[in-house]
Amino acid sequence: QVQLVESGGGMVQAGGSLRLSCTASGRTFGSYAMAWFRQAPGKEREFVAAISWSGINADYADSVRGRFTISRDNVKRQVYLQMNSLKPDDTANYYCAADFKFPTRGALGLDEYDYDYWGQGTQVTVSS
């Protein structure tokens, strides 16, 4: 019904930057929110950032606040994650997700169960 595809992952040195992109396709009807999650080996998937349909409201995990910026382009049906000042602890598989319940809830979801569709992930590796 809805497909999400991430891109932009790669390997970067600590202190460097990467910009991730996620493109939505299919039945993307409605004012859906989008988010980024990440999962490192041996760890649970964790929330990174979320953004409202309008792009005005955004939320970030404390671990990335001030370093990462989430944005979106609804014409292109894309969401982005600009990652600056990367740390080795940022190494993880990054997933984008779409929340079609957002118009009903009226608030950004911070948990995995808030999101309806997921991308396949893109690997980010930060070396020291």
Model confidence pLDDT, tens digit, residues 5-35: 999 999 999 999 999 999 999 999 889 999 9
Q: Tens-of-pLDDT digits for all 128 residues of the chain? A: 899 999 999 999 999 999 999 999 999 988 999 999 999 999 999 999 999 999 999 999 999 999 999 999 999 999 999 999 999 999 999 999 999 998 898 899 999 999 999 999 999 999 99
Q: CA 22 to CA 60: how far, in whole Å?
A: 17
pLDDT of the residue at 36: 98
Among the listed residues 76, 58, 78, the one whose alpha carbon sits nearest the alpha carbon of residue 68: 58
The residue written with tokens 């891109």 in the block is: 7
8 Å CB contact between 89 and 62: no
pLDDT at 102: 87
> 116, 111, 118: which is closest to 46 by C-alpha?
111
Structure token pair of residue 22? 């996620």
